[in-house]
Chain A
Amino acid sequence: MIEKIDLWFEERMGWRPIWKALALRNIPKVTWAYTLGSATLLVMVNQILTGILLTIYYVPSPQDAYNSVSFITNEITAGWLIRGLHHWGASAMVILAGLHMIRVVVHGAYKFPREVTWFTGLGLLAVTMAFGFTGYLLPWDQKAYWATTVGTRMLEVVPVIGPWLLRFARGGEELSAVTLTRFYGMHIWVLPALLMLLIGIHMFLVVRIGISAPPKASETEEEGPELEVEA
């Protein structure tokens, strides 16, 4: 049965070669540490899915934001779960991306030929933090409001353009409806777009170049690759 469906699609889409190239390729023997990236990826998918679900009820205005979030949390079936997943997922994603990065540093995986992967990774980290910062305001509760007040005020210390930056970030002198909508716009449109772009390149490169092999302790020896020592 499954084979039949498989065949039916294969005849029409010809996806098997792609599957083969992607999935049935060989990669070096890797350790558990290599799962950190895909774990981050999973949480990212989780963020996108739950984030989109949240937008279904969420309204970005000072009048409604809090009420709609509270509605999601308390009245919609599994709303607490979806919000909870998004909330904790944000922290998890920061942690996992951080650990993933540490893994990459430990393995020296940012070296040739994976420099671009590393750069896009850094971009991903920045985008993730930006997600966290903009998302924090959205529930429009006390912690959201005041943490963002203080957070945006930090911009003021930039010499010369500081005050302007502050007004830019807040969309005015004070935190207001304008701040909320622009944070929302960032969180829902701008940052996801950047995220897609960066993760697209990141993943493409991971497949294209191939995942690095765990470095061998013997590498320092002059003979180099000829001396094949089992890791």
Chain B
Amino acid sequence: MKPEERSEYLEEYAEDKKKGIPFFPDAVFKDVLVGLTVLIVLIGFAYFGGAPLEERADPSDADYTPRPEWYFLWLFQLLKYFPGNLEFVGVILLPALGFAILFAMPYLDRTRLRHFRSRTWVMGSMGVAVAAMGFLTVQSMIDIPLPANVTGEINAAALFTEHCSVCHGTAIEIHEGTNLHETIAGGHEGMPAFAATLSIDEIDALSGFLVSPQGGAIFTANCAECHDSGDLAAVSPFELQAALSQGTGYAAHADLDIPEWEEVVFGQDRTALLNFLLAPDGQRLYGLYCSECHGPAIDWDGDRDQLEVLIREGGNHREMTQWRDVLPDSEITLLALYVVEPSSSPDGEPLFAQHCADCHGVRVPTAVDIETAVEIIADGMSHRSMPLWGDVLTEEQLTALTTYTLDASRGTPTLIGQALFGRLCSTCHGDFGEGGPHPSDPTNIIAPISTAIYLETRDDATIRAIISKGPSEGMAPFLESEGGPLTSDEIDALVAFIRAWEDDPPVEFPPEIEQGPVAGGSRQVFSTFCAQCHGEDGAGGADLVGPSLTSDTFQNAYSDEELFASIDRGHSATSMIAWGDVLTAGQVEGLVEHIRSLVSRTIVYSRDIEPIFQASCSACHGSLGGWDSSSMQLVIESGDSGPAVIPGDPEGSNLVRSLRGTGMQTMPPAGELSDVQIDLIVEWITGGATEEVTIGGEQAGGSAYTWTVDVQPILAASCGACHGSSGGWDAATYDSTINSGNGGPAVSPGNADGSSLAQRLLGNGALMPPGSALSDDQIQIIIDWINNGAAR
């Protein structure tokens, strides 16, 4: 508005006012009349609508479908159109933009014109905005209030509420053919991947829930009283069908007061229920029911309809000739060889082309081994043992399964990779990347490559590089350009296959201790693995790769944690591998201790202990009374409740209790000392709490306890009566004490935790001696004896 327009307006307004009406009572009358009406309407609402109050808030009930107050519904609905990363736009940007526009109205609409007819665009945009908000609100109200129908024990609804409803509101429209599992697990267009958050069963339950909301309602109405949908999610479709068809004839339902389900849940309802319990998700169905016999994928070269018929008719589909009647045994064997390992028996190819290709196409069917292959070819009717899936699966499930099987048969990188891995890598790395002794050099142990930690610590590029170029020793480069057999694409496929382990590592190291060389106590582990490079005594040596572990410089340079980390993760670019892949954390810890015990160490009070007290205690603990940290003597003798330190007995020393927080109060109050510092103080006290304390060395290296002197008397007194030569564990001689036992050797020297003798004495498993444990001291003697190598 220009200045003259402004004053014009003011003049005009003054005129309007003069010709106007008195505020009181004319205008006030209208206001009050409307006000009174509004109030009466409100009272009416209060009277007829009440003041709603639902059940008390129950934070553990995640089935509840949240509904914001109606005037926020439009915003809630808006979210559905802005999934994933775009959410921000829907929730914040758009409303903020709307508000900003409102704020700017006086500046956007700046003419002097006020009548709505002269301001069409303002009226228009306002109309559009109001209509949009109205539309969104209505939309959100009429959207199937899906989870609201499904209450009760259904955890899928809870999962939905927790993870999906924020963006998707109350329902998601599922397009046909969507692979829900993949979408949920892997994320999609801004939607996060839930693979890490949800278990496979949870994802399954969720998919069923989404695909078949109706099934969810049926489940709630009929089954939820006894079953959790999660329980039934992975149950075989045969069981489900049986349970539904047999009514009380179904064993598990026999004694229950339930209706004949056939009469209650039939037709569409039954389908919906089955779809709910077992989401029509091909990949999952295949994994659950097909892969056991067919492996990760089926070679299928026919068309989709054939495949569907095959799956549907399963065992009825005995289309394959009994080749036994047609071909001589030799040719069958040849074919079998070809089928199992095409490259190894090229002679089979023409035979295959002649007899098989008509139905099987160029793809070769798979078989586990030659015998199976021979059998299948000879007997024909290859699907004899296959269930008639058409009878048990719903149409939706069948379609999904067929689609997946078809897709998978075309081959995914993972599948190609798997084939390559089986051919080229598994000889050394094992079928599941579990490693093991090198085939040509059994002393050389190949570490597993399929553990979570291995995969986590190596990105695709690294794995690719390792395969392509070969690591420094032992493995040849595999990439063509490096002289290997594989193309770049094939290596990518291998990487994809190896990476696929990450979701579900086939090898969970530590491998069981019994597995050969990895077993044993710290000393044994050390001599198996570490001694090769660091020497049997850990002192290194001119002809050894590893440094001395016993030098002062080495011992002082690293804290226990650092040692642990070194062993656990290894050093890249050296032959020190990440032993954490091979050894348990306990074993690595044992190694650290072992390394420490290789040398005798001297703890000097003034050098090692005093600085700790000075830094952390002396501010408060001076000569003010109570414990005084200012000199060694006072450290030991002073204290509110007697001497703070009892030399030789850290557990009984108040100082240690305070430091560990096991006493009245944790000291220092501002924060505990580090474990290393506490351990140092404990060791100092253990060693006698003098100015110079020596620990480790031969004292820790050799056991104070021997079988003959310490252990045998205990065993003879408490065990001998039952454990003689009558079988089972035999406590009579040293050798039998160690090696006999119902479940393998009772003692694993160096490893009390892994020795059933020690465990049974401690009462892990049935307590021995039955009913009356040995005294703690006796048990401790035996444990120490085992841990120190079980000396004779």
Contact = CB atoms under 8 A, between A and B. Distances in A.
Interface of A: 22-30, 32, 34-36, 38-39, 42-43, 46, 62, 66, 69-70, 73, 80-81, 83-92, 94, 96, 102, 105-113, 115, 118-119, 122, 126, 129, 132-133, 136, 139-147, 149-151, 153-154, 157-159, 174-175, 210, 212-213, 215-217, 219-220, 224-225, 228
A132 B13 contact: no
Contacts of A220: 113, 115, 118
Contacts of B72: 129, 132-133, 151
Contact of A81 (B1, B46, B53, B102): B46
A32 B27 CA distance: 9
A82 to B, nearest CB: 8
6 contacts: A35-B31, A35-B34, A73-B50, A81-B46, A147-B67, A220-B115
Contact of B53 (A73, A110, A149): A73
Contact of B1 (A112, A144, A145): A112
Please indicate which of the listed interface residues A105, A119, A133 has the most CB atoms of chain B within 10 Å of its own CB. Answer: A105
Contacts of A73: 50-51, 53
Contacts of A210: 13, 17
B16 A213 contact: yes
B35 A215 contact: no
A107 B56 CA distance: 46
Contacts, number: 245
Interface in B14-59: 15-24, 27-28, 30-31, 33-35, 38-39, 41-43, 45-47, 49-59
Please indicate which of the listed interface residues B22, B41, B114 has the most CB atoms of chain A within 10 Å of its own CB. Answer: B114
A26 B123 CA distance: 30
Contacts of B305: none
A142 B76 CA distance: 18
Given A29-B16, A143-B67, A158-B92, 11 more contacts: A28-B13, A30-B27, A43-B38, A66-B57, A105-B105, A108-B115, A141-B56, A142-B54, A145-B64, A147-B69, A215-B113
A51 B67 CA distance: 23
B66 interface: yes
Please indicate which of the listed interface residues B41, B122, B166 has the most CB atoms of chain A within 10 Å of its own CB. Answer: B166
Nearest to A89: B42
A151 B50 contact: no
Contacts of A84: 42-43, 45-47, 49-51
Contacts of A105: 105, 122, 126
A81 B43 CA distance: 7
A90 B51 CA distance: 12
A111 B106 contact: yes
Contact of B50 (A30, A80, A94, A225): A80
A144 B118 CA distance: 45
Interface in B145-195: 161, 165-166
Contacts of B118: 219-220
Interface stretch (B3-11, B616-624, B661-669): B3-11
Contact of B109 (A111, A145, A149): A111
Contacts of B119: 108
A22 B24 CA distance: 9
B8 A25 contact: no
B46 A141 contact: no
A34 B9 contact: no
Nearest to B82: A157
Interface in B90-117: 91-92, 99, 102-103, 105-106, 109-110, 112-117
Contacts of A115: 106
Nearest to A32: B30
Given A26-B20, A94-B71, A110-B105, A140 B115 contact: no
A140 B23 contact: no
A24 B114 contact: no
Contacts of B110: 111
A119 B105 CA distance: 10
B87 interface: yes
B289 interface: no
B21 A27 contact: yes
B157 to A, nearest CB: 12
B61 interface: yes
Contact of A42 (B18, B20, B39, B76): B39
Contacts of A224: 8, 12
B402 interface: no
Given A46-B39, A157-B87, A217-B117, A87 B46 contact: yes
A22 B54 CA distance: 46
A28 B16 contact: yes
5 residue pairs, one from A and one from B, having the closest CB atoms: A84-B46, A145-B57, A83-B51, A215-B114, A23-B24
Contact of B116 (A34, A143, A215): A215
Contact of B106 (A30, A36, A112, A228): A112
A118 B165 CA distance: 36
Contacts of A112: 1, 6, 9, 106
B68 to A, nearest CB: 5
Nearest to A65: B57
Contacts of A96: 38
B130 interface: yes
B101 to A, nearest CB: 11
